[in-house]
Amino acid sequence: MTRDLSIGDVSKNSGVKVPTIRYYEQIGLLPCPPRSEGNRRLYTKRDIERLAFIRHARELGFDIEAIRALLDLQDRPAQSCAMADELARARLRDVEERIEKLQALKTELQRMLDCNAHGRVDQCRVIEVLGHHDQCLHQKH
């Protein structure tokens, strides 16, 4: 595979910023590329694909260690994908818990606004509830 892409080219084509590419190299998510005689990093299209994979996984909220495990699986394609499934299931559970908390937060904010809109500050339900968490209906927000 031809190694003729600069870090700027790789950044542009993968959607990953140059400092982030360097960081991924430092932590081992992206192999450190060989360098030219002028000490310029030399990348391949495979590096772009790997960075795009990492970027997409980050966008889906996978943490660095989960991405490291997923990359390890990707590098060994003959393995069972059970570990990938489990990592995705764990991420889905995290998302579902966050949605539940956000729904409780939405309900509480709406309740605060519905109770006494346009009143005076000394009668303001928003100020009162923010000052006394025990008045919230949902303690998990």
Residue matched to tokens 């818990």: 97
Residues 6 or more apart whose Cβ sits within 8 Å of residue 82: none
Where among 50, 79, 108 does a domain terminate?
79
Round to whole Å and give the CA distance between 24 and 16: 10
pLDDT tens column, 51-92: 999 999 999 999 999 999 999 999 998 989 999 999 999 999
- In this structure, are residues 54 and 71 in contact, taking their beta carbons and an 8 Å threshold? yes
pTM of this prediction?
A: 0.77
Please tell me whether residues 72 and 99 are part of one structural domain: no
What domain count does the chain have? 2
Please tell me whether residues 58 and 29 are part of one structural domain: yes
Q: How far apart are the first and last CA of the chain?
A: 51
Please tell me whether residues 33 and 72 are part of one structural domain: yes
DSSP-derived secondary structure letter, 35: B
